[in-house]
Structure 1
Amino acid sequence: MFQQRKDNYKKIEEKRGSKLLVYVTSDRPNIGAQISSDILSPFTEHLDKIGDVDKISLLIYTRGGNTLAAWSLVNLIRSFCKELEVIIPFNCHSAGTLISLGSNKIIMTKQATLGPIDPSVNGPLNPSIPGSPDPNSKVPVSVEFVDSYLQMAQKELGIKDEQGLSNILIDLTKHIHPLTLGQVYKSKSQIQMLAKKLLAHHEVEEQNEDEIIKFLCSESGSHDYTINRKEAKNLGLNIEKPSMELYRIIKDIYDDIEKELQMRSPFDPNILLGTSNQNSYQLRRALIESIDYGTDVFLSEGTIIRQVVQQQGGQRAIIQDNRTFEGWKRENSN
């Protein structure tokens, strides 16, 4: 919990000569969280308490999220400091990698990984995830996967006539909403533009800029590809290896947050219910912390109900999720 982590936060601030912000989005199976624009308000409260300083360290763990939210977060933090460094304890993928590009320096542990920044479109019109206990969960639509699908139709299947390509596109819209596909097209050029602007802060060699963007946007092959510390440095990014003492502090912080957010335990409503047919829940899905302003936590709260219904051939249990709250809450004050 925050009070136990606070001493380690102080140690990082002393060692780095900075003010520390911690941002973690849970990747707990079935109930994870992503970077989104709703972080800007709580981050502003933390930054107002910190004030204008020379240097801010952002310790971040995330699997990604909204690219414009990532862009806005970098600009917000940088408006409060002269120098921004990112500390990565483990995974910092997709929009998290985009945030890292906007720093002056990236501190990566031995297990830390970055990832491609080819965006995945997330929105209410995305396809729903079949069988997910979260009624609001949607399938992210990868920009590169859509592009690869269309390229496969032309290059591998040899479909080049207008009618054939038109049929491929029409079939695609049966599974992915046309407005989502339009957003995919827009996102591709947008992510390249954002990456180029953010790399100006990172102070990479000018001749490396285009190669870095090209690799992160498409040439890595898959959105699941991971980039370790050595490869990130070889790409031309400004990477620092932490001392063993700093590494242990970073790892202690991450291990404590991982345990608090139950990130290794898949969310299963049947386990939550046990032998009962109704149970309330409170799920911790993300947090923002600083010594100066304490903790903001992203919560999902509600009641899980199991109903047994009669169907042809027997009975079937249906799980109903009555969610009563979802959003950020102030929890610990300094």
Structure 2
Amino acid sequence: MYTDRKQLYQQLETLRNSKLLVYVTGDRRQLETKIGSDVIDLFTYHLDLIYKHDRISLYLYTRGGDTLAAWSLVNLIRQFTDYLEVIVPSKAHSAGTLMCLGANSIIMTKQATLGPIDPSVNTPLNPQVPGAPPHANIPVNVEDLNGFVEYCRQVLGEDAEMKELLLLLSEKVHPLVLGSAFRARGQIRMLATKLLANQSHADEKLEALLRFLCSESGSHDYTINRREARDELGLPIEKPDDELYSVIKNIYDDISSELELTVPYDPNSILGTDNAREYRLPRALIESLAGGSHCFYSEGKLVRTQVQRQPGVMQNAIQDNRTFERWRHSSE
């Protein structure tokens, strides 16, 4: 809990001679959260209370989210400090890695990982998930589209009729989604280039870094460990000493326990033997010593029920009556 972490936050600020801001988007299975623009006002609240400081430490745990929100958050923090360091206790993937690119230094534990920043496009026009509700769409990864084209060129040769390939692709993916994906590919390189201006990279090293993060890593699930980030990609990685590592790890363990990051969400386990039970599930955190704790909650009531899947056939089900889903400050 936040009250238990305050002492750890004080220790970390003393060790780094900085002001600490914590941002965690939980990746608990079936209850994932992502970086989103809804946190910009909350970041402003905490930063206004921190005020300006020579160094701000952003403690970041995330599997990714909205790239423009990540871009905006980094630029917002930089209005309050000339030196931004990002502390990665475990995962800072996708849009989280993009945020790291905007830091002067990145502190990575031995288990910490970054990832590619190739974006996915998800709009109402995206392909639907077969058999799922109408609003369930398949994200379209920008590099997957490029991979399809390159695969066709390798199999069919450079003389492959691109018009036919694009017509085939547009039958599966709406042309406006294809256009959005193309624009997103250029945009992510532009954002990364601007953020990396806060670091020192020779032109050829910068281009190699952008190519790897945006397209050459082979898969969006590829993970970049501390050694690769430092030695091969040339990012400004700092290895924590034993004292700093202990504080970083203890903070992570406490947050992981509160958000139950390693426990898959299972309505049956929440209900137990009851037919109905109210729930309150913490899913994400924004915290600082100056501003306290903001937690994103999902609240509601689970009810066992029966639904008719086909005439004469009833099946047990659990109805989720969600009544609250937003950020709440610890003072509320």
TM-score (norm 1): 0.91
Q: Are 1:196 and 2:193 counterparts?
A: yes
- What is the distance in 2 between the residues matched to 1:221 and 1:121? 18
* Residues 124-135 of structure 1 mapped to structure 2, 5 A cutoff: 124-126=124-126
Q: Secondary structure at the match of 1:317?
A: strand
> Which residue does the alignment assign to 1:320?
319
User: Residue type matched to 2:295 in 1?
Assistant: V
* Residues 1-334 of structure 1 mapped to structure 2, 5 A cutoff: 1-126=1-126, 139-156=138-155, 160-161=160-161, 164-173=164-173, 177-234=174-231, 235-310=233-308, 311-312=310-311, 314-332=313-331
User: Residue type matched to 1:250 in 2?
Assistant: I
Contact 1:304/1:322 (8 A) holds in 2:
yes
Q: Secondary structure at the match of 1:53?
A: coil
Residues 244-300 of structure 1: CA deviation (Å, up to 9, x unaligned): 110010000001101100111111122222333333222211100000011011112
Q: 1:135 to 1:302 in 2, by over 3 A?
A: farther
Q: 1:151 to 1:322 in 2, by over 3 A?
A: farther
Q: Number of matched residues?
A: 329
The gaps in structure 2 that reach 5 residues or longer are: none
Q: Secondary structure at the match of 2:3?
A: helix
Q: 1:124 to 1:10 in 2, by over 3 A?
A: farther
- What is the distance in 2 between the residues matched to 1:180 and 1:299? 32
Instruction: Give the Å deviation of 1:331.
Output: 1.5
- What is the distance in 2 between the residues matched to 1:219 and 1:119? 13
Instruction: Give the Å deviation of 1:52.
Output: 1.0
Instruction: Give the Å deviation of 1:117.
Output: 0.6
Seq. identity, %: 54
Contact 1:66/1:122 (8 A) holds in 2:
no
User: Residue type matched to 1:14 in 2?
Assistant: T
Q: 1:163 to 1:71 in 2, by over 3 A?
A: closer
Contact 2:71/2:191 (8 A) holds in 1:
yes
Q: Aligned-pair RMSD on alpha carbons?
A: 2.3
User: Residue type matched to 2:51 in 1?
Assistant: G
- What is the distance in 1 between the residues matched to 2:126 and 2:170? 16
Contact 1:135/1:321 (8 A) holds in 2:
no
User: Which segment is superposed worse, 249-258 or 199-208?
Assistant: 199-208
- What is the distance in 1 between the residues matched to 2:304 and 2:143? 39
Q: 1:231 to 1:302 in 2, by over 3 A?
A: same
Q: Secondary structure at the match of 2:328?
A: strand
Contact 1:205/1:236 (8 A) holds in 2:
no
Q: Secondary structure at the match of 2:54?
A: strand
User: Residue type matched to 1:50 in 2?
Assistant: I
Instruction: Give the Å deviation of 1:168.
Output: 1.6
- What is the distance in 1 between the residues matched to 2:91 and 2:274? 36
Residues 309-328 of structure 1: CA deviation (Å, up to 9, x unaligned): 34347321233322222221
Contact 1:25/1:287 (8 A) holds in 2:
yes
Contact 2:286/2:293 (8 A) holds in 1:
yes
Q: 1:128 to 1:280 in 2, by over 3 A?
A: farther
User: Which segment is superposed worse, 224-233 or 137-146?
Assistant: 137-146
Residues 55-94 of structure 1: CA deviation (Å, up to 9, x unaligned): 1000100000110000000000000001000000001100
User: Residue type matched to 2:266 in 1?
Assistant: D
Residues 76-113 of structure 1: CA deviation (Å, up to 9, x unaligned): 00000010000000011000000000000001100011
User: Residue type matched to 1:213 in 2?
Assistant: L
- What is the distance in 2 between the residues matched to 1:137 and 1:4? 39
- What is the distance in 1 between the residues matched to 2:176 and 2:320? 28
